[in-house]
Chains A and B, each alone.
Chain A
Amino acid sequence: MHPKGVIWTLGILVVLYGGCMLVPALVALYYHAGHASHFFQAGLIVELLGAAMIRFGGHAPKQLSHRDGFLIVALAWLILAILGAVPFWTTGTLPSIVDALFESASGLTTTGATVLTGLDQLPHSILFWRSMQEWLGGMGIIVLAVAVMPLLGVGGMQLFKAETPGPVKDKLTARVTETAKVLWYLYLGMTATCAIAYAWAGMGIFDAVNHAMCTVAIGGFSTHDASFGFFTNPVLRLVAIMFMVLAGISFTLHFVAALRGFSIRTYLLDEEFRFYITWISLLLVLAFLLVGTQGDAPMLDIVFNVVSVATTTGFAVSDYSLWHPGITLLLLMAMFVGGCSGSTAGGMKVVRIMLLFRQGQREIRRLVHPHGVIHVKMGSHRISSDVTEALWGFAVLFIVCYIIIATLVAFTGVDIVTSFTSAAACITNTGPGFGQVGPAGTYQSMPAMAKEVLIFGMILGRLEIYTFFVLLVPEFWRD
């Protein structure tokens, strides 16, 4: 292990993050809405800390090991979540440290669960910082999922190390940094397109930029208490639906499709994409049968809310917790499946669910043919048993963590529906759950203890479980 190298790398991230805090300060100056000095101060504190870390680290590490990778990933999310809370606290927006941490962690992990109310009255700088945190978090996740986790082999993601699925035959580019750069442009381009589409469809510039950042990051923070329900224009809602679905697709796939002039064929050849679209369509059909036929809600509301939860975004246009009770479980299930791997979405990821499903199918077929040689396949590619075992391990750990978190939240005295759905909404990085924390409510009223547990849950879900737990193994720290 190279502790100095780890600290140097984290220092760089902290400095960049501090630089980002200056953007809300400029927003504050532009809108004359206050808090500019607070953001400058917070930025300065973070910059100084980062500089100190770089100084301590000495110089760029020549080589980082596998374990350093785990440590950097886990600590980066933790440290940035803590530092991101500073402006919420110093500006007095959230006087409680736990609340400030919750809001910050929720943003950075693109969960979108909030403890704030009265969003419409908050200064622009605070709103912008929330959205920006989600956006930065989203970027971090893509780089993490596409460039880093496959190298570390987290939860079966080694699958994508040498060969990415479907038509994507080779790694995007030779080096991780190159890959990260390409993804950054793609992410930036998508956000800009989304913002322009929102503005074109009638959103104000400030709202358009904020919502675009939160849509593409699959975060779900809004600048209004009514969330996306504030905008009644159906064109806006359609634009949002489209970009949520797009952001839930693997960015690797977007990249390859971009090289081929965004051909639909490239997408259709990808098995995960097909599964993802089929899954969302299935959810929509079921939701229509449960809700649409009753005339409880307009069609567009149903599509928007289902897509929002299925991609783990967490925007809402109406309070779906009042709908047919079947919807509650359907959406809960959708949260767990989540979006595609290599996207900003949370949950267990479509590709894992798909492969687990096939693994199950394989076991059943093996009962019919005891001597059969049956492999789990994706396309014509055999998935090795190493990968399927890692997937099983991941699935079990994910579910166990979920149950433990839900139980711990229930211990703090929260009712059953709220504790179980808030745990799900946080570990899958969706945001709103049901009960007290439904789309119409916030996490404000939760006990501080519950919030702490949920912060942990959000980061755990974002780090795909393994990346966090590996740090708890004594062997990890031994040389």
Chain B
Amino acid sequence: MNVLILGAGEVGFHIARRLATEGNNVAVVDQDEERLQVISDAMDVRTVCGKASHPSVLEQAGAANADLLIAVTTNDEINMLACQVAHSLYKIPTKLARVRESGYIDHPELFGRDDLPIDVMISPEGEAAKVVMGRLNVSSAIDARDFFGGSLQLVEFVVRPKSKLAGLSLTELPEVMGDLPVYVVAHEHNGVWRVPKGDAVLLAQDHFYMAVAHENLAAAMAMMELKSESTKGRNIMMVGGGHIGFIVAKELEKADARVKLIEHNVHRADWLSDKLSDVVVIQGDALDQKLLEEENIDKMDDFLALTNDDETNILSSLIAKRYGVPHVVTLVNRAVYSKLVKQIGLDVTVNPRLTTVSSILSFVRKGRIHGMASLGDGTLEVLEAEALETSAVLNKPLSELGLPADTVIGAIHRDGKIIVPKGAEEIQAHDHVLVITTSASVSAVERLFEVRLEFF
């Protein structure tokens, strides 16, 4: 597949790398020569320097033969214009664009074949905010993702030293969970993520992802003696009122939480105070201990560090931990920090880049792959796929499917019901299937769900 990526920022970089390692022909366009140099040093892609929306630049980057355009420059207007140019001049079939201004996003009628030809819009801030909200809603969990339109959740937990789970192997799990249909699909021990076998043992401080139907989540958490509560009436302190912070504050305001939002920039704080009515906007430094004490940081139920600056986020989260805030969410942009942060005791992190990359990738996948997400540090992938009539996976017990190594079927969504599969279960046509695999085996899994051509 020939892919054209506009914008060599963090998001562009990681998509380019992923697509290139999966064997696609990738061209990256950016105005910043140095940035392009970094990319061409790191991976096998073509780079073109120039203005991303300019026809001659697109031409040079091979737009005429491109199958897919991903416009992720920092400028909304350039992204949209580039899609238009690519549509009108080069007939590129699929176009993705990053659009962050809600002024555009709120008008879906702007986009379509006859209007602005953008097939999929991506808002990194919106994605990250969604993830932050997801984590707030399941506050004692570390991560929570929705699949099958929200009816199934993958929830990440950490095994606390005195929890009932500590020391259990996965086959012994029913001792705690009873008959509740849950499935542990990913397991982390000492920083290594794996798709676990039945003999894997959950040790203290291990992380694991559990697939559970939405209606069973509260019961499952009760079994593990964890709390699940709504955000209503919770005391939440947020640091950073940028794009992500604003979206989250707005959502929390709707959910009736008591929110304090600390923003450093005076003008931005003014602006936030105008736009938010119930949120208390505080102008000041998130690392100012006096300010935090003044605002009763020790009485907070949640602390969200969402500034653009990783260091500020990490440090303020540590301060919040020290004051005994039970639930801390930290936004971390740089991959290096993601691992580091776990070692210093911050377990809930959101990586806006990773979430954007995975949502872009899920659209890029061909065939019947509907959703895709990365788990842990990105070594594991979750795919939501539909089994077609001609697919190779039908009507065979799961145990005989010949799935690639380290791959499991986490859940099956059939006629609106969630089935947590056993080895004898068979996949039927039109089932939606949740597959957990390693990034190396993604293409093998994709092939399994592709339509077999000989039937036509």
Contact = CB atoms under 8 A, between A and B. Distances in A.
Interface of A: 365, 369-375, 377, 380, 382
8 contacts: A369-B295, A371-B294, A371-B295, A373-B281, A373-B282, A374-B273, A375-B274, A377-B274
Contact of A369 (B263, B270, B275, B282): B282
B282 A375 contact: no
A374 to B, nearest CB: 6
Contacts of B270: 373, 375
A371 B273 CA distance: 12
Interface string B278-291: 00111110000001
A383 to B, nearest CB: 10
B272 interface: yes
B37 interface: no
Nearest to A370: B294
B238 to A, nearest CB: 14
Contacts of B190: none
A371 B277 contact: no
A373 B272 contact: yes
Interface in B252-271: 260, 263, 269-270
B277 A372 contact: no
A68 B225 CA distance: 77
Contacts of A369: 260, 280, 282, 294-295
B274 A382 contact: yes
A372 B281 contact: yes
Chain B contact residues (Cβ within 8 angstroms of A): what range? 10 to 19
B274 A374 contact: no
Contacts of B284: 371
B226 to A, nearest CB: 33
Contacts of B260: 369
A380 B280 contact: no
B283 A373 contact: yes
A57 B269 CA distance: 53
Contact of A371 (B274, B275, B283): B283
Nearest to B241: A373
Contacts of B275: 380
- The 9 A-B residue pairs whose C-beta atoms are closest, nearest first, are A373-B269, A373-B281, A373-B273, A371-B284, A382-B274, A373-B283, A371-B282, A372-B282, A375-B273
Nearest to A375: B273
Interface of B: 260, 263, 269-270, 272-275, 277, 280-284, 291, 294-295
Contacts of B282: 369, 371-373
B316 to A, nearest CB: 15
Contacts of A365: 280
A373 to B, nearest CB: 4
Given A373-B270, A373-B272, A375-B270, A380 B277 contact: yes
Nearest to A365: B280
A102 B270 CA distance: 50
Nearest to B285: A371
A377 B275 CA distance: 10
A66 to B, nearest CB: 29
Nearest to B283: A373
Contacts of B269: 373
A377 B281 CA distance: 14
Interface centre among A365, A369, A373, A382 (most CB of B within 10 A): A373
Nearest to A382: B274
A382 B275 CA distance: 9
Nearest to B295: A369
Nearest to A374: B273
Contacts of A373: 263, 269-270, 272-273, 281-283
A374 B291 CA distance: 16
A321 to B, nearest CB: 44
A73 to B, nearest CB: 33
Contacts of B274: 375, 377, 380, 382
B250 to A, nearest CB: 12
Residue in A370, A371, A380, A382 with the greatest tally of chain B CB atoms within 10 Å = A371
Given A377-B277, A380-B277, A371 B291 contact: yes
A368 to B, nearest CB: 9
A375 B279 CA distance: 12
Contacts of B263: 373
Given A380-B274, A382-B274, A372 B280 contact: yes
A372 B261 CA distance: 9
A374 B260 CA distance: 12
A472 B332 CA distance: 63
A199 B392 CA distance: 89
A369 to B, nearest CB: 6
Nearest to B262: A371
Given A374-B281, A380-B275, 9 more contacts: A369-B294, A371-B283, A371-B295, A372-B281, A372-B283, A373-B272, A375-B273, A377-B277, A382-B273
Contacts of A371: 282-284, 291, 294-295
A165 to B, nearest CB: 16
A343 to B, nearest CB: 28
Contacts of A375: 270, 273-274
A382 B271 CA distance: 10
